[in-house]
Amino acid sequence: MPAAVSVLIAILTLLLIVAVIVVIGAPLRRSRRARASDDAPAPARAALEAAREAKYREIRDTELDYRTGKLSPQDYERLDSSLRAEALEILDRLAALNGQRAPRSDAPER
């Protein structure tokens, strides 16, 4: 292999190593700042928020089921009430986690 090619390969390898160190070392260099500004929601809150979204989706799905003839009016009433109660429970737990009263105005209404 010509010497020039060997030098080029060595330079490229070194550049690659430097780039890797810069990429993976960045969070460690701003370690304190990163820890202070850890903006990930707490696991419990994230889980409740996801559960809330899933429950809202279920309420909408149930309505669509009713409107497309898969549920009788009585079944829909019963199911919808139970889903709303479950949604309120999730909202209560979310509010408790945030140290607030349950935002009833924020709860699903008919």
Tell me the one-letter amino acid at 48.
L
- For residue 67, state whether it binds other proteins (rule: CB under 8 A): yes
Pick the binder of other proteins from 7, 18, 60, 96 (CB under 8 A). Answer: 60
Please answer whether residues 102 and 95 qualify as being in contact, where contact means their C-beta atoms are separated by less than 8 angstroms.
Answer: yes
Can residue 80 be called a binding residue for other proteins (CB under 8 A)? yes
Q: Measured from the CB of residue 38, what is the shortest distance to other proteins in angstroms?
A: 5
Rounded CA separation 59/47 (Å): 18
Of residues 1-40, those binding other proteins (CB under 8 A): 1, 5-6, 9, 12-13, 16-17, 19-20, 23-28, 30-31, 34-35, 38-40
Biggest CA–CA distance in the chain, Å, is 85
Q: Does 93 interact with other proteins (rule: CB under 8 A)? A: no
Q: Tell me if 59 sits within 8 A of 83, measured CB to CB.
A: yes
